[in-house]
Amino acid sequence: MSNDSKSQDDVILEEIKTLIDFDDISEKGERLEKKLKIWVKHAEQAICLYVGIDKLPELLTGTVVEMAQAKFVKLGYEGTTSANEEGLVFTWSASDLEPYKDELDQFKKRLPGADDYGWAVTVD
């Protein structure tokens, strides 16, 4: 099956699985895959809402992958902003979008009408 016949979400999910070395076909693996799908959906929604678009363009799929992968790393530490484990310190932003805002702001500048600052109306 080529990438052309797969949905954008399927391609994103495959990329995440590759990055986290996911190959578990057990019941536990199925539950994790369901979580990955939810994280992808939530990342797409957050990005679209922040940027002000209805459908995620392919250009932003890498950001979705990174956001979902970050959720995987944070698994078990939801609601915290830092954790220590065997000498390693993990820190997370309170907002999942925070690390990607510069990138998303650059994308927003490319949208049609981004340079429009509104209209001035006068009544004489």
In a domain, 122, yes or no: no
Whole-number mean pLDDT of the chain?
Answer: 83
In a domain, 119, yes or no: no
Closest Cα partner for 29 from 65, 71, 72? 72
Token digits of residue 68: 């979902």
Domain that holds residue 78: 3-110
Predicted confidence band of residue 103 (pLDDT cuts 50, 70, 90): very high
Alpha carbon of 110 to those of 42, 57, 103: distances in Å? Answer: 23, 12, 11
pLDDT at residue 64 in the model: 93
Domain count, the chain: 1
In a domain, 59, yes or no: yes
| Structural domain contains residue 64 | yes
Residues 48-68: tens digit of each pLDDT: 999 999 999 999 999 999 998
Task: List CB contacts of 16: < 8 A, sequence separation 6 or more.
Answer: 22, 36, 40, 65, 68, 69, 72
Q: Reduce the DSSP state of residue 119 to 3 states and report it.
A: coil
Q: Is residue 36 part of a domain?
A: yes
* 93 backbone dihedrals φ, ψ, rounded to 5°: -75, 155
Does residue 123 belong to any structural domain of this protein? no
Q: Which of 61, 85, 62, 56 shows the shortest CA–CA distance to 73?
A: 85
Average pLDDT over residues 104-111: 91
The whole model's pTM is what?
0.73
Cβ neighbours of residue 3 closer than 8 Å, sequence gap 6 or more: 11
Structural domain contains residue 116: no
Residue 86 domain-assigned (yes or no) = yes
Task: Decide if 107 contacts 60 (C-beta within 8 A).
Answer: yes
